[in-house]
């Protein structure tokens, strides 16, 4: 393996751009959130943030990035999956609600964000559609040979992943306010959207990714081009389904806890009986005080 990396310059193995990006993110989080008296970032939120940043650098700024770009298609699939389904949601979870309230409050970006998040389904289609298109062999073989196109697609993937996970996690009700039922359905259908490309990668029996076929077996002799494709599909589906399953479990849990809290509560125009909300109309409200 060391012989393979000997042909690369030091900056290709260290990834100075990724290192600087990770350092700037850490500087921003420490000085804008941790050291600020306005916000109270919990230990868990700090752990989420630094885990996300470390994960970002490991897959983008270390020799793993060279392996993903040059030798193993499965490594590229793992790289994209870790960024979109692990690092992005951890980053969102690391942001305190107080920071989000201050950042968006009385700003034009609040109106833009509310407009974007008011229509979540197009975001889900765009994100999962781009992931699918990215892994289609005919498209992938074109963009993989042009560094700018691949970089642009990866940035767009991470951006759409951020917007999609924002809908699911909903860290601030001031920016988007969707019900637990809608968000649970959103996770379920979003998981289904990626089934076709995952199944394609798992069952295909011919090598389709030309740049990786040419170097098949150089890094791991037993990993042929077909096995590499199948491993890529397995990693994509495993990380996607794992992250969505955790999100779905959390949403259903919080939904159940909220229904328990609302059980038996009464306000002016509704009743909650065994988890079912019964809304009273004007006639009910006029007659609810009358004796029978």
Would 292 be classed as within a structural domain?
Answer: no
- pLDDT in single tens digits along all 292 residues of the chain: 556 666 766 667 788 889 999 999 999 999 988 988 788 888 999 999 999 999 999 999 888 988 898 889 999 999 999 999 999 999 999 998 888 777 765 555 566 667 777 778 888 889 989 999 999 988 988 888 888 888 899 999 999 999 899 889 888 766 667 788 888 888 988 888 888 888 888 888 888 888 888 888 778 888 898 999 999 999 999 999 999 999 999 888 888 877 777 665 555 555 544 444 455 555 554 554 554 4
The structural domain count of the chain equals 1
> Which residues is 266 bridged to in the sheet?
271
Cα–Cα–Cα angle for 187, 188, 192, nearest 5°? 110
Would 204 be classed as within a structural domain?
Answer: yes
Are 136 and 59 in contact by the 8 Å Cβ rule? The answer is no
Q: Work out the number of other CB atoms within 10 angstroms of the CB of residue 5.
A: 12
* Tokens encoding 186: 């959103």
CA distances for 121 relative to 99, 125, 141, 172, angstroms? 26, 6, 29, 19
Would 90 be classed as within a structural domain?
Answer: yes
Are 153 and 134 in contact by the 8 Å Cβ rule? The answer is yes
Would 151 be classed as within a structural domain?
Answer: yes
CA-based torsion, 183, 184, 187, 193: positive or negative:
negative
How far apart are alpha carbons 264 and 218 in whole angstroms?
66
Are 72 and 228 in contact by the 8 Å Cβ rule? The answer is yes
Would 184 be classed as within a structural domain?
Answer: yes
Would 183 be classed as within a structural domain?
Answer: yes
Would 80 be classed as within a structural domain?
Answer: yes
How far apart are alpha carbons 254 and 72 in whole angstroms?
40
Please enumerate in sequence order all residues whose Cβ is within 8 A of that of 179, keeping only pairs 6 or more positions apart, or say none: none
Range of the domain at 235: 2-287
Q: Outline where the chain has alpha helix (H).
A: 2-5, 10-14, 16-29, 43-60, 63-70, 73-82, 88-93, 97-104, 108-117, 120-135, 137-143, 147-169, 180-193, 195-203, 210-213, 225-262, 282-287
The pLDDT assigned to 182 comes to 87
């Amino acid at each position: 393996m060391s012989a393979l990396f000997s042909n690369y310059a030091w900056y290709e193995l260290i990834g100075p751009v990724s290192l600087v990006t990770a350092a700037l993110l850490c500087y921003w989080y420490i000085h804008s959130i941790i050291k600020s008296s306005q916000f109270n970032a919990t230990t868990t939120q700090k752990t989420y943030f630094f885990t996300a940043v470390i994960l970002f650098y490991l897959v983008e700024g270390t020799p793993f990035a060279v392996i993903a770009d040059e030798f193993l298609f499965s490594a590229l699939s793992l790289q994209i999956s870790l960024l979109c389904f692990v690092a992005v949601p951890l980053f969102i979870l690391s942001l305190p609600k107080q920071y989000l309230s201050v950042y968006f409050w009385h700003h034009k970006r609040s109106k833009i964000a509310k407009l974007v998040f008011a229509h979540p389904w197009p975001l889900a289609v765009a994100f999962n559609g781009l992931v699918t298109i990215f892994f289609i062999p005919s498209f992938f073989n074109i963009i993989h040979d042009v560094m700018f196109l691949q970089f642009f697609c990866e940035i767009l993937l991470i951006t759409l992943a951020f917007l999609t996970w924002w809908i699911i996690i909903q860290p601030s009700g001031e920016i988007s306010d969707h019900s637990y039922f809608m968000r649970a359905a959103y996770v379920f259908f979003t998981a289904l959207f990626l089934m076709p490309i995952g199944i394609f990668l798992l069952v295909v029996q011919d090598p389709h990714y030309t740049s990786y076929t040419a170097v098949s077996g150089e890094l791991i002799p037993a990993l042929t081009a077909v096995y590499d494709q199948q491993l890529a599909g397995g990693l994509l589906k495993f990380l996607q389904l794992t992250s969505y399953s955790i999100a779905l479990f959390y949403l259903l849990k919080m939904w159940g806890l909220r229904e328990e809290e609302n059980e038996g509560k009464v306000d002016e125009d509704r009743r909650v009986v065994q988890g079912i909300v019964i809304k009273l109309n004007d006639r009910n409200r006029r007659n609810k005080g009358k004796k029978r």
